[in-house]
Amino acid sequence: MGDKNEDSVEEVEVEESGGKQGSGDAPGKSAVGDISSQVMQNPQVLAALQERLDGLVGKSTGYIENLPKVVKRRVKALKNLQVKYAKTEAKFYEEVHELECKYAALYQSLYEKRKDVVIGAIEPTDSDCEWQSSDEEEDDEENELLADEMKKKASLEEKEKVDEKEEENPNGIPEFWLTIFKNVDMLSEMVQEHDEPILKCLENIHVKFSEPGQPMGFTLEFHFAANDYFTNKVLTKYYSMRSEPDESDPFSFEGPEIVSCTGCTIDWKKGKNITVKVIKKKQKHKGRGTTRTVTKTVQNDSFFNFFNPPQVPEDGEMDEETEVVLAADFEIGHFFRERVIPKAVLYFTGEAIEDDDEYEEEGEEEVILNRKSGDADGEEGDDDDDNDPEYDPSKDGQKPSECKQQ
C-alpha cells in the first residue's frame, strides 16, 4: 500500500488450524482466505486502497506512448478524421435546427388556440371538448350497474353541480401558468408569494427560434395582460447556443449547447419593483454614541430575477457562484423550451409530472437560481444584522450592494 500507509494498517493475527506446517511451507488456502477477509474488512486498509485507485484514474497505461512512430502517425490521422466527423455532425444539427424552425411555425397555430382558450378569448365547441379519461370510463361501467332510480338521482345531482359551475363561469382557465409553475419543482422554487399576483396575469409563453443562417439560439417570450406592476406586455429571455465544435477542444462536441443568455429590462411602475427591497439599518457612532438610520437597496428573491441573469465575461472566466447560477438558468431555459411550452396542459393537470417521475435520479446537485444578498448559498446574511441596533457595517468592510435592474 506504500510506505505512508504502513503505520495506519493494523496487524492481523491468524491462528493456524488443522494440520501442521513446516517452517518452509506456504500457508494453507484457508489461512490465506482468512487473512484476506480480515484485511479487506479493515476500514483503514480500504481507505488506503481507494486512495491509490483514485490516483490511477485518468493516468495513462503507457501503451500509447510506447507505440512505434509509424503507428502514432496513423493515430493522428484517425484524430483528424474524428475532427471532420465532429464538423459533419455540426452540419447535421444545423439541418435539425432548420427542421425545428419549420415545425415551430406549424405548432404556432396550435399554441395560439391554446392561449385563446386559456385567456377566454374563445369558447371551445362541444366537439372540441369531447374527451374521455380512463376514470370516466370506469365511472360509466359503474353507472350501468346502478338502478334506474339511482341513475336519475345521480343525474340530477350532477346537473346541479354543473349549474353551480356555470353560475361561476370564470373567464378562460384562471391561473393556468401559475398552476404549472407551482406544479413543477424546478419552477416552484423560484416563485415567491409576491410573484403570484403578477404570474396570474401571465397569458402565454412562447419560444421563438433563430432564423436559419443566423447564430443558433432561441428566445422565450412571456406575454402578460395589463397589470399593476410593470408596463411591459412581453418579457423576453434570449439563449445563445454554440452549434459547432470548439477549435481548442473539438472532441468535446456533443451537439448544440447553451453558452450565454440575455434578459430584458422590466419597466416597473413606481414602488412596484418586487425584485428589490429596501433595508434600514441603525448605526451607532463609536465616539459620540449617537445613532443614525441608513437605508440600502438589495436584491429580493423573485421569479423575475430570471430576466436579469449574470453575463458571461468575454474571457469566459467566471467565479463559482456565477457558474452555478448560469448552469441552473440554462437548465430552466431548456426545460421551458423542450417540456413546459409543448406540454403545458399536461403540466397543468400534473400528468406530465408523473411521466417525469418515471426517470430514476442518479444523483442530485443543488443549484441556486435566485441570487440573494449575503452569500453564495442563497441565505441572507443580513437578516440578523437588520434587527441588531448595534450593527456597524464599517466593521465588516462591506459596501451596500446596489440593484442593477431597472
3-state secondary structure 99-168: HHHHHHHHHHHHHHHHHHHHHCCCCCCCCCCCCCCHHHHHHHHHHHHCCHHHHHHHHHHHHHHHHHHHHH
Phi, psi of 207 (to 5 degrees): -110, 130
Candidate from 131-145, 154-168, 204-218, 274-288 with smallest mean pLDDT: 131-145
DSSP, res 339: I
DSSP, res 326: H
pLDDT at 42 over 80: no
Q: Which three cell numbers stand for residue 193?
A: 408569494
pLDDT recorded at residue 322: 86
Between residues 340 and 66, the one the model is more confident about: 340
pLDDT at 111 over 90: yes
Give the mean pLDDT of 371-376.
40
Count the neighbouring beta carbons within 10 Å of the beta carbon of residue 244: 16
pLDDT at 387 over 70: no
Give the mean pLDDT of 219-241.
96
Count the neighbouring beta carbons within 10 Å of the beta carbon of residue 67: 13
Give the mean pLDDT of 324-340.
93
One DSSP character per residue, 211-232 reads PTTSPSEEEEEEEE---SSB--
Domains of the chain, earliest start first: 89-120+175-357+367-395 (3.30.1120.90), 139-168 (no CATH)
Give the mean pLDDT of 52-70.
76
pLDDT at 36 over 50: yes
Give the mean pLDDT of 170-187.
94
pLDDT recorded at residue 381: 43
pTM of the predicted protein model? 0.64
Give the Å distances, CA to CA, from 291 to 44, 281, 361, 389. 59, 10, 54, 9
